[in-house]
Every structure is written in structure tokens, then in C-alpha cells.
Structure 1
């Protein structure tokens, strides 16, 4: 009996270390299984998920850690985080009215009715250009150029002979007709009554003639230089008036039915958003622009003090029928992506959850919410995009991924 007890004791002593080691291994496995496994995602592409650090295979950004096991569709921020993210909320109040506008892309262009081409009335050689560069403002009556014209000299000599004949034979009707015809030629060559009277008084031919500006404007183009010979009617320079500008806007044919000639619209010039201008639609091009599927509408706006230049971008606001009794939010409160539109609602202090919404009419400041929120909800109006980014970083998924219909 004692021998048997001794053998049992020896056998237990030899098996005890193996049993203890196995127990430790099982406990270690359970401990490892109970640990949370760290996962990583891309802040720009949340569909990229892996269990070790690295870079995003799409954009190359470093992956950031996130809690894959936290499935709560809400985001909790501390007071300091709310302040740093500039998260503010508003309580959705009673329904109000909302007006909508279609924004048409446009631009300011020169009004051709205020453009003048200065051309030579006589053939000859330009002796002096009093304006030698573009961008110079000139006033009506200001000398622009002086030209030497042999043809003008011949016409002046012809007129002096006709005047002498009339003086010598005052009763001859034929000489009076010749004098009248010779004078008319000088008038057609832009000789004024004062210049013709001076010619008769001095009895001296002057082949040089100085031409003044017929209108006020800015020199936009010089087509002749000093010493250059120009033909009769040849262009010397172009003057443009900027006290009134055209607004040309592009519109799709499907939207053209909402516009008509004589309609009053608002124009916003880039850089002067706080000073909208009223424009009357003057023309709707009946044909599509070359190389595009767009029509063009046109109107004119005043340009006080020439503060706007042709080429500036402008937006034409085409009014659409107003709606009343709608719930609306600031435009920045609504986040739009491929999943739809959503807002962030504050359920408790510091606790925000995404809420899918349906939108309706929209203007520059507000957007109509047709479904998803109700009066009394506290909606985030600034910092919504930061909440959206923070949710993706912490949860590793799009906040709309678990919404109905997604």
C-alpha cells in the first residue's frame, strides 16, 4: 500500500509542471483574445482599413488609428474641442419664406454702342500721333493725330480757285455751283466751317490737318504709327467707353423658358458681392454658342467711376418662384456627399449625431429642409465639416453608412 501511494505521489509531481504550463497558456490565449485589436484607416478614404500602420494605397497619406469596435452613431466632444472646432448650433424655429435663384455664369464686356473707331477721313501720311499708347483716357475734342495729305491740298487749291471765280463772275450760276461742290468736298474731308473760312482768308493751302476725338473714351487699340501712310477710311485707333458695360451670361436651353426680354434680374460682380446691380435683359441669342450647348443672354449695367473692367466675372441671379412656410438652415450646415445630404444634431451637450435630410429650394444663404429635422432640433451651423471629418477618423466609416436606404 505504501508503495502504491509513493508511486501516485511521484506521478503527480511529474505531471504538475505540464498541467501548470498548459493552464498558463490557456490563460494567455484568453487574455490576448480579450484585448482590443488596433485598426487603422485613411482620413480621406475610410473604406481603407487594415490592422497595422502604413500608407493609403489610393492617396498615399499615413493611416490613422480608429476604434473599429465602437458602433455608436454619435460623436462626443469635450468643451475645449467644441471651442477649438468653432462648433455652434441653432434651434430650428418656425417655418418662414424662402426665395430661390438660379445662378448664371457671366462676364462683363465692352458695350459696342460706346465704342468708336477713329479713322482717317483723307488719304495721307500720319505726321504726329498725340496718343501713342493704349489705356490712355481722351476727351471729346482732344487732338489725336495730324496727317499730311496731298489730296487735301489739291482740294483746298480747287476751292480757292472756285472762290476766286465766283468773286470775278458773281452773276454766273455755274461758278457758284462749282464753288459749292468744292466746298462740299472739303466738308466731307472733315474740314470745319472755321477751317474753310481761315483757308479763304489766308489764301494759303495747308496740307496738314489735325483730327480731334469725336467721343470721349479710353484708347483700347492703336492700328497706325507715325510716318505710316493710311488710306481714306483707314483705322487709326479705337476708343472704348466704360461708363456702361454689357453683361453676357450663359444659360442652358432648358432654362431659357424662365427668361424673357425686359425681365429684371440681379447682377453680382466678383469682388462687389455686397453691391448687387439691377439689370434688364435686353437680348436672348436664339442660336447656341459655337462649340457649346449654351445660349447667351445680355443686358447692360452702369459703371460708375469706371470701377469695373471688361473681363470681370459676374453672376446673374435669375429669380425663381418663392416658397413660404419652409424649414431652412444655413447652407454651411448641410453636408453633401455621394451618400446624400445630412446635418449634425446636438442631442445633449457635447454629443452630436448625424441626421440624413432631404433638401429643396436653395439660395445663397439658406437651404430648404423638406425632411429629416423638425422644429426644436438643435442643428450645428458652423463646424459641421469638422464633425464629419472627426467621425471618419474615429469611426473609420462614413456617418451616412448606417442610415436607412444607404
Structure 2
């Protein structure tokens, strides 16, 4: 009979709480935990937990299902009873609740911080604009200013991974486009220095390879013939003891080959026509003469180029020029033949920036014994950054670049992370040198660091250590 009475009383209490909760919800009044809903005066009061933690709501002193978000009195002037966090069921994870209860028993609360991570604190318990309670900061926690704490579950779900800061050499490689060009020192123009007529042109065309001394054309020049006749006269006079005049020098000034002058001196005869020969080995770039053509003094007959050594002119962006040194190793690959690589070194850095492209020319000299490299070919050039010094480095994925400053996330262990502003050095092979901000004993987050930023309100922490706010 007594059990039936207790059961009926419990059912009646549940129905009363349900109707009161509906009434309270429509009036914006906080609803307490289930344990307080079913609270019964008498022997149950002895089992109530200690009053620790901030006040979360106020209840009617007669334990009626009437609640208030702030202090309140009954109609007869009695104050409502304050209900603390330890007296109601929390929606947090149980380990966190127990930890906070243990901290409340052993440590002193210094202040209360914004539950959303904003840089706002309060010396007394309060709520934010959404009705969420400010979180207590206990003694010993305030010393780690700017440190973000994440639960193991969040770390595992986010895929956070960290690596130690290493001391290593960063071999930076600058990849830029280039164009194959002729070596200007190996270009020759075959000209004539007197008026002449082309008697015959050798069967040499543009693109042919010629050797030094190869006959290119046979010409007749009245001026050269007259100088040759005067030279013979002077030779005969010299045989009689008359000093030689300037006929030999005149022939040399007209560009007559030395072997033709020697032949005139030996035979004492002026040839009617003269063979005009190639002045160096190379390929024929231009042919400007034809049979029977009249040539004026200074005319260009052929243009030759030696391609045994070739240039590659690379366009290096202005921002990368500081990393390039004379003698830096280079690798050149032709876009038409990517399977072939040519090794060389930087020989010249041109002292001029192109206004349109903001690039500078860098010259690379390459040996071209097989003639594979041809003028105006496109190439991809890889330029080493020279001597690589040993320095502190982190993976490039560890850097959070905010535009005005660069930040890494330090892994302090036990779920603690700290943002740290750093200064960067050279980059290369997926690594970035750190000149200031970290030490060799640190570990940095290299994966999911942006998720840490989102999940733990890192932006508020960054603004906090950029402009430190006095804590009460």
C-alpha cells in the first residue's frame, strides 16, 4: 500500500513538472536538470551535492517548479534559492565536469572568460548575449596565456599531426622559362670592303655548316686588282733596293685574305678574281649574294655562327633575384625534348629589369657539341640557390600566412597548442627557414592547423597576444 502511494506521488510530480516546464518555456525561464525536477523535500535533501561552481539559475525556496535566471523574491518577500553547477546535471562531458569539480575544491577561481573564446573576461559569474555562462579560469591556468586546449577526441577527429623543428640545409630551386640564343661572341659577318662584282657563289645555303677557310664566293674588284698591281710594283722595286711602300698594307685593309696576298707575292701576278672564304667554323645564318650581283663596299655576303657553345637566357622574377649568384648550378630541359637535360652554370645576371614583365635576364652558357640546342628554342631552367646554409626549418604546410604576419601552431603536448608569430627565410623543397620565433626543441602542427584555428577560436587568441589585455 505504501509503495503504491509513493508511485502515485512520483507520477503526480512528473506531471506537475511537465506542465510547469511548458509554462516556464513559454516565458523564457531556464529549465533545471532532471534531478531538481524530481527533487523531493525530506531525506533527498541530505544527498544534495556541495554548492560549488557558478550559479546557473534560481529556484523557488519551497522547491516549487518556479525558476528565474536572476535573483528573485516570492510574493511574501522570501528570496529564491541559488542553484550552482554542482547541483544540477551538466551537458558537458562527465570527465570535464569531474575535473572542474575537483578544481573547484582545490583551486581558486581567478576570473571568468567568454565561452566563445572572445577576449572578454569578468571577475564575477555572468552570461553572454546568447545566455551561455562564462567559464571559470582557475589558478594555474592563467599563466598559459594564448594557449589553446583541445580534448583528445577533437584532436583525433581533426587529424592533427605535428613534426619537430629541424636544423637542415634548404636547397632552393628556382624554376623559370628560358630561350636558347646564339653566343654573341661566336657570330661573324663575311663582308667586302671595296666595290666588287660576284662572279660565282659557292653551293652554300642557309643552314649549311661550313669550316674556316671554306670558299663562299668568287668576286672581281677593280680596286683590289689595282692594289695588287701596285703591290707587285713595289716588290720588284724592293728587289732593286728601293724601300717597299704601303701596297701590302692597303691589300690587308681591303680585307684580302692573307693566302691571296702570299700568292701574289710568290707569283708576281694579280688574279682576275678572288675567292672569298669563311672566317670561322659555324652554320650559315644568312646568304645575301647571288651570281652576277654587284656589291658596294661594306656589303654583307654571309652571316655565320658557331653553335658549339650556346646561351640560354632565363627570365627570373624580380623577387627571386636575391637568391641567384654567379656560378650557381643550372639544369636546362628543352620543351621539345624533355628527356634531355643540360648542365651549366649562371655566367651573367643582366643589370636591368624588364618594365612589362618585372623580370631580369640570367645567362647560362652550355656546351652544344652535337648541335641539339638551336636558337630560339624554348626551355625550362632550374637554377640552384647557391650555397645552402644550415638553418632552422619547418614544413611549408606549418605556415599560416595572414598577409601581414606569419604564424605557426606549436604543439605543447597534452592537447595544448600555442600560436607563435615567426619570421621566414628562404624556401625550397617543401621546407621554409624560420629566422625568428621557434627553437630546435619545438614541435609545430603540420596538418589540420587551420581546423585548430576554426575549432578553438584561434583568431581570438591571436588578437589576444597581439594586444595583451590585462586580466583581473
Shorter-chain TM-score: which interval? 0.5 to 0.7
Q: Which structure carries more relative contact order (alpha carbon 8 Å, separation 6+)?
A: 1
Match of 1:103 in 2: 175
TM-superposed deviation, 1:138? 0.7
1:227 matched to 2:292: yes
Equivalent position to 1:119, from 191, 200, 204: 191
1:280 matched to 2:345: yes
Q: Distance in 2 between matches of 1:197 and 1:283?
A: 42
TM-superposed deviation, 1:219? 0.4
Q: Distance in 1 between matches of 2:252 and 2:174?
A: 54
The residue matched to 2:179 in structure 1 has which SS?
strand
The residue matched to 1:104 in structure 2 has which SS?
strand
Match of 2:332 in 1: 267
Equivalent position to 2:315, from 244, 250, 256: 250
Between the two proteins, the alignment pairs up a number of residues equal to: 248
Cα distance change of structure 1 residues 284 and 156 upon mapping to structure 2, 3 Å threshold: same
> CA offsets per residue over residues 99-118 of structure 1, 9 Å max, x none?
54221111111111111111
Match of 1:338 in 2: none
Q: Distance in 2 between matches of 1:269 and 1:153?
A: 51
1:304 matched to 2:376: no
The residue matched to 2:346 in structure 1 has which SS?
strand
Q: Distance in 1 between matches of 2:347 and 2:259?
A: 42
- TM (norm. structure 2) is 0.46
Q: Distance in 1 between matches of 2:259 and 2:359?
A: 54
Task: Please say if residues 393 and 431 of structure 2, whose CA atoms lie closer than 8 Å, have aligned partners that are also in contact.
Answer: no
TM-superposed deviation, 1:200? 4.7
Q: Distance in 2 between matches of 1:103 and 1:111?
A: 23
Q: Distance in 1 between matches of 2:267 and 2:350?
A: 57
Cα distance change of structure 1 residues 260 and 296 upon mapping to structure 2, 3 Å threshold: same
Equivalent position to 1:166, from 215, 238, 242: 238
Q: Distance in 2 between matches of 1:307 and 1:212?
A: 26
Match of 1:74 in 2: none
1:293 matched to 2:358: yes
Gaps of 5+ in 1: 1-91, 330-359, 375-399
What pairs up with 1:312-331 in 2 under 5 angstroms?
A: 312-320=377-385
Cα distance change of structure 1 residues 289 and 226 upon mapping to structure 2, 3 Å threshold: farther
Cα distance change of structure 1 residues 294 and 308 upon mapping to structure 2, 3 Å threshold: same
The residue matched to 1:164 in structure 2 has which SS?
helix
Task: Please say if residues 121 and 189 of structure 1, whose CA atoms lie closer than 8 Å, have aligned partners that are also in contact.
Answer: yes
TM-superposed deviation, 1:324? 8.8
Match of 1:238 in 2: 303
- TM (norm. structure 1) is 0.52
Q: Which moved more, 1:269-278 or 1:140-149?
A: 269-278
Q: Distance in 1 between matches of 2:200 and 2:293?
A: 10
Match of 2:218 in 1: 146
Cα distance change of structure 1 residues 217 and 372 upon mapping to structure 2, 3 Å threshold: same
Cα distance change of structure 1 residues 249 and 373 upon mapping to structure 2, 3 Å threshold: same
Task: Please say if residues 105 and 316 of structure 1, whose CA atoms lie closer than 8 Å, have aligned partners that are also in contact.
Answer: yes
Q: Distance in 2 between matches of 1:193 and 1:362?
A: 57
> CA offsets per residue over residues 65-111 of structure 1, 9 Å max, x none?
xxxxxxxxxxxxxxxxxxxxxxxxxxx9x999875422111111111
Match of 1:371 in 2: 446
Cα distance change of structure 1 residues 323 and 370 upon mapping to structure 2, 3 Å threshold: farther
What pairs up with 1:314-393 in 2 under 5 angstroms?
A: 314-320=379-385, 363=429, 371-372=446-447
Cα distance change of structure 1 residues 198 and 246 upon mapping to structure 2, 3 Å threshold: closer
Task: Please say if residues 121 and 233 of structure 1, whose CA atoms lie closer than 8 Å, have aligned partners that are also in contact.
Answer: yes
Structure 1 or 2, whichever has the larger Rg, is 2
TM-superposed deviation, 1:311? 1.7
Q: Distance in 2 between matches of 1:247 and 1:370?
A: 42
> CA offsets per residue over residues 324-348 of structure 1, 9 Å max, x none?
987799xxxxxxxxxxxxxxxxxxx
Gaps of 5+ in 2: 1-160, 398-425, 433-443, 458-472
The residue matched to 1:159 in structure 2 has which SS?
helix
Cα distance change of structure 1 residues 306 and 324 upon mapping to structure 2, 3 Å threshold: farther
> CA offsets per residue over residues 99-151 of structure 1, 9 Å max, x none?
54221111111111111111114321122121442111111111011111001
TM-superposed deviation, 1:158? 1.4
Q: Distance in 1 between matches of 2:257 and 2:351?
A: 45
TM-superposed deviation, 1:261? 2.1
1:156 matched to 2:223: no
Q: Distance in 2 between matches of 1:361 and 1:238?
A: 45
Task: Please say if residues 327 and 370 of structure 1, whose CA atoms lie closer than 8 Å, have aligned partners that are also in contact.
Answer: no
Match of 1:176 in 2: 243
Task: Please say if residues 152 and 207 of structure 1, whose CA atoms lie closer than 8 Å, have aligned partners that are also in contact.
Answer: no
